[in-house]
Amino acid sequence: MISTAIICKNEEKNIRNCIESTKWTDEIIVVDGLSTDKTKEIAEGLGAKVFLNEFRSFKEQREFALSKCSGDWILVLDADEICSTGLKNEIQDVLTTVIPEICGFRIPRKNYFLGKWIRHCGWYPSYQMRFFRKDAVKVKNRLVHEGYEIDGKTYTLICAILHNTVQSISEYTERINHYSTLQAIEKREKGAGFWKILLKPSFSCIHKYIFQGGFLDGVEGLMVTYFHIMTNMLTLMKIREMNKKKKG
């Protein structure tokens, strides 16, 4: 039996496509962090089992979602992600042929920026551990970019999850502001002095745009690079702010 696990909040514009792409699984579990829009109603109307749970951290929310799954295998998606037809077929095929020792599958992810698939900038293949045995997984203890650790052998699939990463510049800016705060909390012990604030964003820009091939993605690649710099700058400045407040 395969369960799909989705955590979300205020995702009425995305949740329908996400759920419909996973209707081939045996059950769909949606954990809603107390949405104020129609996310819950849409999900229930599509046959998902919806559980309301106040969001405290990504780790806790993902663990709660896993606990509600009754399947031996779990496919994890975010609300702005879609299981491609190719991935569906590959998962169904691999479960009939894979050796019993395999406990988890890494899946490539195609990230889209304003509708364009970003092939470079470190955005692809962006492997994610998203399909695994329920009894072999635990959630990493991180505030941001949390993931799943597998106790056992793993395998890498070919077909991808489709991720509508950036659909609106204003929404993405808000997300960067939030994530940079979480990153600053995680990294504050490393400090943020003058030279780090001056040089690190510049080096990360060169790395992403030149060495990771961002220039090959055209204007969107340049925009992705600029957002990466913004995230770095905000994280470092927030670390600086937090540490000064702590001393004062």
Per-residue pLDDT of 15-63, as tens digits, reads 999 999 999 999 999 999 999 999 999 999 999 999 999 999 999 999 9
- Asked whether the beta carbons of 134 and 153 are under 8 A apart, the reply is no
Reading the block at residue 13, the tokens are 């514009």
- Which of these, 91, 64, 125, 113, lies nearest to 227 by C-alpha position? 113
Q: Which one of 148, 165, 182 terminates a domain? A: 165
How long a stretch of residues is the chain? 248
Q: Does 119 share its domain with 157?
A: yes
Q: Does 61 share its domain with 129?
A: yes
What is the pLDDT, as a whole number, of residue 141?
Answer: 85
Q: Does 32 share its domain with 133?
A: yes
Q: Does 111 share its domain with 40?
A: yes
3-state secondary structure of 53: coil
What is the pLDDT, as a whole number, of residue 39?
Answer: 98
Q: Cis omega before residue 125 (within 30°)?
A: yes
Q: Which one of 122, 149, 165 terminates a domain? A: 165
Contacts of residue 72, Cβ cutoff 8 Å, sequence gap at least 6:
1, 2, 133, 134, 135
Q: Does 17 share its domain with 81?
A: yes
What is the pLDDT, as a whole number, of residue 17?
Answer: 98
Reading the block at residue 138, the tokens are 């635990």
pLDDT in tens, 87-138: 999 999 999 887 788 999 999 999 999 999 999 999 999 999 999 999 999 9
DSSP 147: -
